[in-house]
Structure 1
Amino acid sequence: MTRIAHVSLRRVRLPLVHEFQTSSHAKRFLEHILVRYESTGGAVGWGEIASPSGPFYSAETVSSCWAVARDFLIPIVRATEWDHPAALAGAMAKVRGNHFARAGFDMAAWSLFAAASDVPLAAALGGTRARAEAGVSLGIEPTIDALLEQVASRVAEGYRRVKLKIAPGWDVEPVRAVRAAFPDVPVHVDANGAYSESDIAVFSSLDELGLLMIEQPFAPRALVAHAALQSRLRTPICLDETVEDVDDLVTALRLGAGRVLNIKVSRMGGLTHALRAHDVARAEGVPVWCGGMHEFGIGRAANVALSSLPGFTLPSDVSGSDKYYARDVTTRPIVCADGWVDVPSTPGLGWEPDREFIESMTVDRVDVS
């Protein structure tokens, strides 16, 4: 049995190398919370709470995650003995919602479990691939020409799929321009729930552009609207914010609300729940891919491991660290080469956290022994 003797939280701020514009706001730097466990047996595990800074993607923020982690999750983790990360996830389930906060703690448990078992994290999860196919996500640019420059740069780097953020007023024309300039590149669009049922004409136009998928057109709980739209489109709808747990996934599948699933470790409350969603989707014949939240190297390492599972048949958002950060929180960056990221074969997380650099970029800290 495992018991955690020491828990550390570090609120770390890193500047972005390229401003990322969404429909809600622009990001110039990111703050995420790093979680470190040390067991009574001396094993160490790391996790990352990769919540947005503001409540625009979900209700959680860095500040809310910090409070929940400090006041509720640390006491649960300290009081729980467990033999498998799923058991610790079960103990944390008494905290309702707060998926991002729980995800970082669950990730640290899996990292520790893999290290203590002397196996790579991917193998502990049941991964079967030696490398993960990488796509890239691009934000809303000031002009279409600027967007085309970004796409050209990422295609030249070998990324095997390009995701374009869209929003009302920035949708059909920029996507059509990208499609015309890069006809052979798999492209999909992500609306982050910015549209309503009155915008059917937009999706009918996008449906003619040969897209890989249309991600999260409507608000998270608008399952009936998604089902109605999917029945009208040839292009698969991909669900993201709609699916926070496996029950959401089962409901969406029964309604026919989408044909593709974006599995985000953070959105689903950790690797334990992401693994369950993968298994359900695979059994239903639904292709999945791993989405990202601009994770630092620790969260990105978990995404790479998850993407090695057999159900991940589409390129995932596991782009190299250099797309976002001049220097990452791991001693070596995660690198994408010709559209692929190698899945580590070393025990544990696979990338070593750079503790000195982490401390230098920390803006708040908690240590509980």
Structure 2
Amino acid sequence: MPRVRELEVLRVVLPYGPRTESLLVKLTDQAGMTGWGETVSPEPKAWSRLEESLGALLIGVDWEHPDSVPSGDSAVDMACWDLWTRMRGVPLADAIGGTRTSLMATVRLTPDASIDSLVSRVNQQVCAGYGHVTLDIRPGWDVEPVRAVRAAYPALTLAVDCAGAYSDSGQLVALDSYGLQVIERPFPATDIYAHAALQDQVAASVAVEVRTTAGLDDYLTLRAGRVLLLRPTAFVSLSEARRAHDRAVAAGWDIQCAGGQGTGLARAATVAVGSLPGCTLPCDVTQPPRNNQIVTPIVGANAGVIAVPLTQSGLGHTVDEARVHRLAKDHFSA
């Protein structure tokens, strides 16, 4: 039975692109074993809430399972799972019901300075072994780049991610003639009816992203898509992410796991959840640059395939604590 004798919470800002902030949680048990967790882009009050309550919640308290720790925070939950599975000598993927030893990967390509440059980048990724490419699109950068990539690669499996940037379905319906597999997050998440209307008009599967099982149920009821974009650390717990997986599978939906931001810990959890049997679409852990991770081995794809770490317990990765402390902008311990 785990008993935490020491905990540390660190605020880390990674030096790439739009600087991404993460909260890292380290738990140490009586025997010195550690578990790590991460929340990427935490809500503004997360730090103060953990500082006020986490010590009383965990220090010296016996708990039998991560689900019995009512933290309401994804980093704490992940750290509890990491510690609990390391104590038992089992990989996290096994503990949550994963069945895959490796995952197919998608590579995400952002808008470029020119269409020719984008096509060249697609060529680089295809030559690197990727058989699935996701293009980030926005109004004004959609039909033409997709048309060019499809013309250059008629057999390539293509998806587009709209990041909720559209307000009507016109351009998105036009994209359907280019054989897209998935249209991700076409509208703001609150506009469920727009998602349902688009799914009725296109052959591609519409992918929706939610943060709760109740939110997913609303989409399922209206048949407002056919793919769940499952970002594990967006849920309060890995068990809640598993419940969302189970609901989507029961409804006949496909699932794509995603989680490319952060230090590598959140990506490791994404891979573990991606090993679940219903995660049928390629996993997305392609951002940020691999050298910005604080874990060994780094989490990423090799020739379009992501290995699920099944020979190591817990998340399956070692944390470079010296680098964590160099990157930390703030921390507290108890």
TM over 0.5: yes
Report the CA distance between 1:15 and its aligned residue.
Answer: 2.6
Please tell me whether residue 333 in structure 1 is matched to residue 295 in structure 2. no
Report the CA distance between 1:366 and its aligned residue.
Answer: 1.4
Q: Which residue of 2 aligns with 1:92?
A: 71
Please tell me whether residue 248 in structure 1 is matched to residue 219 in structure 2. no
**Partners of 2:53 and 2:27 in 1: how far apart?**
16
Report the CA distance between 1:326 and its aligned residue.
Answer: 2.5
What code does the residue aligned with 1:7 have? L
Please tell me whether residue 208 in structure 1 is matched to residue 177 in structure 2. yes
- Give 1:361's match in structure 2, choosing from 313, 327, 332: 327
* TM-score, with length taken from structure 2: 0.93
Q: Which residue of 1 aligns with 2:52?
A: 71
Contact 2:4 2:28 in 1 (8 A): yes
**Partners of 1:70 and 1:175 in 2: how far apart?**
47
What code does the residue aligned with 1:126 have? G
What code does the residue aligned with 1:36 have? K
* TM-score, with length taken from structure 1: 0.84
Q: How big is each residue's C-alpha offset from its partner over 1:224-252, in whole Å with a ceiling of 9 and x where there is no partner?
A: 22112211221111001xx2111111221
Q: How big is each residue's C-alpha offset from its partner over 1:181-215, in whole Å with a ceiling of 9 and x where there is no partner?
A: 2222211111111111xx32201101111001111
Report the CA distance between 1:5 and its aligned residue.
Answer: 2.3
Q: Which residue of 2 aligns with 1:22?
A: none
> What secondary structure, in the 3-state scheme, does the structure 1 residue paired with 2:240 have?
helix
Seen in structure 2, the aligned counterparts of structure 1 residues 159 and 313 have a Cα distance that, compared at 3 Å, is: same
Seen in structure 2, the aligned counterparts of structure 1 residues 293 and 343 have a Cα distance that, compared at 3 Å, is: closer
Seen in structure 2, the aligned counterparts of structure 1 residues 183 and 270 have a Cα distance that, compared at 3 Å, is: farther
Contact 2:290 2:299 in 1 (8 A): no
**Partners of 1:201 and 1:230 in 2: how far apart?**
13
Q: How big is each residue's C-alpha offset from its partner over 1:10-54, in whole Å with a ceiling of 9 and x where there is no partner?
A: 2223333xx4xxxxxxx2x43322211112343311011112xxx
Q: Which residue of 2 aligns with 1:47?
A: 37
Runs of 4 or more consecutive aligned structure 1 residues displaced over 6 Å after TM superposition: none
Seen in structure 2, the aligned counterparts of structure 1 residues 125 and 174 have a Cα distance that, compared at 3 Å, is: same
Contact 1:14 1:325 in 2 (8 A): no
Seen in structure 2, the aligned counterparts of structure 1 residues 169 and 121 have a Cα distance that, compared at 3 Å, is: same
Q: Which residue of 1 aligns with 2:15?
A: 15
Report the CA distance between 1:148 and its aligned residue.
Answer: 2.0
Q: Which residue of 1 aligns with 2:161?
A: 190
Contact 1:278 1:311 in 2 (8 A): yes
Report the CA distance between 1:316 and its aligned residue.
Answer: 0.6
**Partners of 2:99 and 2:187 in 1: how far apart?**
34
What code does the residue aligned with 2:124 have? S
Report 1:118-137 matches (<5 A): 118-137=89-108
**Partners of 1:256 and 1:213 in 2: how far apart?**
15
Report 1:145-164 matches (<5 A): 145-164=116-135
Seen in structure 2, the aligned counterparts of structure 1 residues 251 and 178 have a Cα distance that, compared at 3 Å, is: same
Contact 1:4 1:77 in 2 (8 A): yes
> What secondary structure, in the 3-state scheme, does the structure 1 residue paired with 2:25 have?
strand
Q: Which residue of 1 aligns with 2:243?
A: 276
What code does the residue aligned with 2:23 have? I
> What secondary structure, in the 3-state scheme, does the structure 2 residue paired with 1:192 have?
coil
What 5-or-longer segments of structure 1 have no aligned partner? 20-26, 52-59, 94-101
Q: Which residue of 1 aligns with 2:231?
A: 264
- Give 2:308's match in structure 1, choosing from 339, 343, 362: 343
**Count of matched residue positions in the alignment of Structure 1 and Structure 2:** 333
Q: How big is each residue's C-alpha offset from its partner over 1:256-299, in whole Å with a ceiling of 9 and x where there is no partner?
A: 11101110012222322111111111222211010124232211
Q: How big is each residue's C-alpha offset from its partner over 1:291-315, in whole Å with a ceiling of 9 and x where there is no partner?
A: 1242322111111111111111110
**Partners of 1:72 and 1:286 in 2: how far apart?**
38
What code does the residue aligned with 2:183 have? I
Identity of aligned pairs, percent?
38
**Partners of 1:112 and 1:160 in 2: how far apart?**
35
Seen in structure 2, the aligned counterparts of structure 1 residues 10 and 160 have a Cα distance that, compared at 3 Å, is: farther
**Partners of 2:170 and 2:111 in 1: how far apart?**
21
Contact 1:160 1:315 in 2 (8 A): no
What code does the residue aligned with 2:71 have? M
Report the CA distance between 1:77 and its aligned residue.
Answer: 4.0
Please tell me whether residue 311 in structure 1 is matched to residue 278 in structure 2. yes
Report the CA distance between 1:137 and its aligned residue.
Answer: 1.6
Moved more, 259-268 or 33-42: 33-42
Report the CA distance between 1:79 and its aligned residue.
Answer: 7.8
Please tell me whether residue 179 in structure 1 is matched to residue 150 in structure 2. yes
Please tell me whether residue 105 in structure 1 is matched to residue 76 in structure 2. yes
Seen in structure 2, the aligned counterparts of structure 1 residues 173 and 118 have a Cα distance that, compared at 3 Å, is: same
What code does the residue aligned with 2:136 have? K
Q: Which residue of 2 aligns with 1:233?
A: 202
**Partners of 1:130 and 1:205 in 2: how far apart?**
38
Contact 1:163 1:190 in 2 (8 A): yes
Q: Output the aligned Cα RMSD.
A: 2.0
> What secondary structure, in the 3-state scheme, does the structure 2 residue paired with 1:33 have?
strand
Contact 2:26 2:79 in 1 (8 A): yes
**Partners of 1:210 and 1:349 in 2: how far apart?**
36
Please tell me whether residue 83 in structure 1 is matched to residue 48 in structure 2. no
